[in-house]
Structure formats: structure tokens, C-alpha cells
Amino acid sequence: MKELVKSYKELMNWMIKNPSEAIKYRQEFQERVIKKRCFYGNSAMPTTLMPMFLKPKSLQLIKYACEIADQIIERTIDLYFTDEYVRDYFSFHPAIPKEWINIDPGYKKHTIINRLDILFDGKNLRFLEFNTDNPGGRGWTDIYEELYRENPMYKDMIEEFAIDTRKSIVKGEFEAMLSCFKEVGFDEKPRLALVDFSMIGSRGDIEIIRDYFIENGVEANIIDARDFEYRNGALYSNGVKFNMIHRAMRAEFFLRYPMELKDFHNGIKNKAACMVNSFKAVVGSEKSMLSFISNPKNFHYFNDEQIKVIKKHIPWTRKFDETITISKEGEEVTLKAYMISKKDELVIKPATGAGGYGVMVGKTTDKVKWNEVIESYAGDPGWIVQEYTEIPQIKLPVIKKNKIVLENKFLNISPYVFNGKYVGSLGRVSDKDVINVSSGGGIIPIFTLKSNESSSSENDIS
């Protein structure tokens, strides 16, 4: 491990002393990023100048906690369909029809392609939220590992110290989707449609996934959801039959163009294709999921191992409509007054928000603005309050005025769990305490050390 620390610091010092050469390598790297379709909007996906390394025991903790959390999510969604109290607890995007959520996709597991966002400082792991609707970044994450392994600045260090996990995420998605397709019982070869709207967002991420399916023998195309025709019990686009659907947009986008999407919805309702994720997965993405899970009065729904993970890794969370509740200190409180008095210890979020929008961190939010939001949404089940968790920071080199300087960045890790199994992690950094690529953050590639590399370094937070 001392050799890794030495190599890591030597590379950062070399960048600082030789900024022109480092920037040249960086520009070549960014050109490769564009060619590999890792872009957000019209620009190359922002990424760090240095990767991050995880110790094997850190990986084991992340894998264990995330796979148990996936079980907890699955258990809660089971309860949603069988327990009236649980069903009444959740308030989804108000316009999403319950009939969509009630559609049987033909396979048993409610959520397949999941990303569970965490804060992890090497010892303490806390879940922030669950993205089980349509988590992004899967294709990009694998591509960045590939590009870092090929880049002359990092190649030798990564090869010497890190295990090889190339394409683990897209491979995991491939296997999970084919498992669902097999479970549904189609007696024909799969043909995959990655479904979105042609004018919404960047398609780079799903193009990478599409290409992996094609390379591994599955016909795949990116299809606008409005282009489907449902006839004779099957879904067609331009005369081509598709029997497997990758839902590449959040569920709320499918509320648009109701006339144009009529055939698509009829096809899904009648199991013309195996769709992953199904609309049932929306339940898991509700931020109120963490409120339900973290409340001790609901622990009786879970087994001992799940309760242990909840107590250790799920932060105290409550919906705004839980007007009288038990605080994170274990006392009975009036929630509105508690949120006002404990401002610096709390975070508030829209229950159905995405991309970091609407998130307010108490300690960095103006008191007047904080109180206005609480007054405006008091009693609203569409908002949650959550215990603040200290955000880990990592010191990284950045380009400033043609020089390389070191700066602290906020860090979070977003592990992917596909069909109940951990497959890899997306790392993200930001100057802001709300970390999201859509809000100006960037990606930091994560590599796991070989098993004989056991102690931590300054830039191995774990």
C-alpha cells in the first residue's frame, strides 16, 4: 500500500510541476471521452484528474449494505401491494396512474436496475436515496474505467494496484435483463428496444448499453416511445417486432403524449414485451421510502438482519405530513417546530425530486428561506426532512488558469445493484454539498485495490 501512496502522490506532484504536459494528456483524454459518447448536454462529461481507490473491505461493506438495502426495498414494495397501511403511506408523482404501478411485468422482482446513493467516509456508510426508477450513468461508468486504464498517466498505477472490473456494470445489466426475459417465458429470441423520446436529453449512456447488447448477440435499437404500434399481441416499430424493453426515461415522462403513447402502454399492459424497469419500480424511488424504513414503528415488517442495516445505515427521515413523530434523538416532537429548531442538523427534499433539484441543506441555507419552505409545505406528504450526514471530502488536482492546483471536493458514491446483486459504483464529486452531475458535479472513477493492498491513503477515503 505504501507503494500506491507513493505512486499517487508522485503523479499529483508531477501534474502540479508539469501543467502543460498534464493538460495535454487531459485534452487527449477528453477527446476520447467524446468519441466514446460520454457527454452531458453538449459537453464532455466532467471527470476528475485522479481516480479513487477502495480497499477490499470497503467494497465488501458497500456490497453487503446495498444488497440488504435492495432486499428492504423489495420487501416494502411487496407490502405496498398487500398491506393497506403501507399502500396509503406512499404518495407518488400525483399524475402517475396507479394502474401502471399495478401492471404485472411477468417477472417476480419489483426492481431490477437500481442505484443506491450513499455517503461513505471509509468507516461510516449512510444511504441518501434510492434510484429504482431509471438510474443513469451505467454505460459511462464502465467507459471511464476503460479510458483511465488506457491513459498513460494512470495506466501503470491502475494495472499494478487495482483489480480488473472492466464492463462489470453493462455486463450486469445484460445478465439481469435476459434473466427477466427468460422468466417472462418468451419462446423467441430477444430483440431489445431502449425506449425514450428522441428530443429529451443525451443518448450517449444508452447508446453504450445498446452496443454491448449487440456485441453479445442481442439485436438492439433505440426507439422513440411514440413510434410503437401494438397489433396482434406484439409491439412493432417501423415493422420490426420488439419483445424486450429497456425503459430509458423516468416514469413521469411517459405521462406526455397520451395519444401517441397509447399503443406503447397497451403493449406493456398486455405483456407484449418484457419491460425493465417496470412501473412498479417507481415505488422504490420515492424518498418517502426512507421515511417508512427508518421509523421504528415499521421495524416489525423486516427481519433482524434488515433491521440491523436500517439502524446503522439509513438516516432518520420523515414526511412533512407526519406532524407528531419521534425525533432522531428518540423524543416525541411536533415535526414543524423540530425542523425549525434543528435547521443545521437537517436536509429537506421533494419526495419525488431528481437531479438534486429542490434539496436544501439546513446548515448552508438562509434561515428565512428555510422557514418559508417549511411554512409553504407543512403537512405536505410530497416533501421529506432527513437527518444531515456529513459529506466526505477528497483532495484532488484541478485545472485553474493553465495550472494544476489541489482542491477539496465533496464526494458521494452511487453503487449499482442489478437483480439483487452489486455490480459496481459510480463516483461523483462537486464543489457544492448537493452532488449531482445535472447540477454541475463531475465523475470520479472508482477502482478496487487488489486484496493484498490493505491500508488507506490520503486519497483512499476507505
pLDDT the model gives residue 203: 75
Alpha helices in 90-239 (DSSP H): 98-101, 138-150, 155-161, 168-184, 204-215
Helices (H), 19-167: 19-35, 56-82, 84-89, 98-101, 138-150, 155-161
Of 41-45, 130-134, 151-155, 398-402, minimum mean pLDDT range: 41-45
Going by their DSSP bridges, the two strands 421-430 and 403-418 should be labelled as antiparallel
Q: Give me the mean pLDDT over the 310-334 stretch.
A: 95
- CA gap 264, 224 in Å, rounded: 10
Average pLDDT over residues 188-206: 87
Instruction: Please list, in sequence order, all residues whose beta carbon lies within 8 angstroms of the beta carbon of residue 446, skipping any fewer than 6 positions away.
Output: 51, 52, 53, 54, 413, 425, 426, 427
pLDDT of 249 above 50: yes
Q: Choose between 150 and 353: higher pLDDT.
A: 150
| Residue found under cell 486519497 | 459
The domain at 316-387 falls in which architecture? 2-Layer Sandwich (3.30)
Q: How deeply is 85 buried, as exposed, middle or buried, from its count of CB atoms within 10 A (0-12, 13-18, 19+)? A: exposed
Question: The C-alpha cell of 236 is what?
Answer: 412493432
Report which listed range, 131-140, 294-303, 344-353, is most confident: 294-303
| pLDDT over 90, % of the chain | 79
- Check residue 166 and give its pLDDT: 84
Measured in whole angstroms, the distance separating CA 249 from the mean position of its chain's CA atoms is 13
Q: Which residue has 409491439 as its cell numbers?
A: 235
Q: Find, among 120, 13, 58, the residue nearest to 456 by Cα.
A: 58
Task: State mean pLDDT over 59-85.
Answer: 97
Using CA atoms, how far apart are residues 244 and 209, in angstroms rounded to an integer? Answer: 14
Please state the rounded mean pLDDT for residues 415-424: 97
Q: Which amino acid is at 307?
A: I
Q: Is the pLDDT score of 136 beyond 90?
A: no
For CATH 3.30.1490, the residue range(s) in the chain are 316-387
Quote the pLDDT of residue 454: 45
Q: Does pLDDT of 458 surpass 50? A: no
Mean pLDDT of 93-114: 91
For the chain, where do the domains classified as CATH 3.40.50.1760 start and end? 96-115+129-282
Closest to 300 measured CA to CA, from 312, 290, 289, 310? 310
Q: Are strands 446-448 and 52-54 parallel, antiparallel or unpaired?
A: parallel
Residue 352 banded pLDDT, cuts 50, 70, 90: confident
- Work out the pLDDT band at 455, boundaries 50, 70, 90: very low
Integer Cα distance of 50 and 25 in angstroms: 12
C-alpha to C-alpha distance for 446 and 48, rounded to whole angstroms? 11
Residues with Cβ < 8 Å from 95, sequence gap 6 or more?
Answer: 252, 255
Q: Which residue has the cell 452532488?
A: 435
Pairing of strands 317-319, 228-231: unpaired
Q: Which residue has the cell 438510474?
A: 135
Cβ atoms of 380 and 396 within 8 Å: the answer is no
Tell me the average pLDDT of the chain.
Answer: 91
* Domain 96-115+129-282 bears CATH identifier 3.40.50.1760: yes
C-alpha distances out from residue 213 to 16, 144, 278, 417, 461, Å? 41, 19, 19, 19, 35
Give the chain's radius of gyration (CA, Å). Answer: 23
**Cell numbers linked to 414:** 452511487
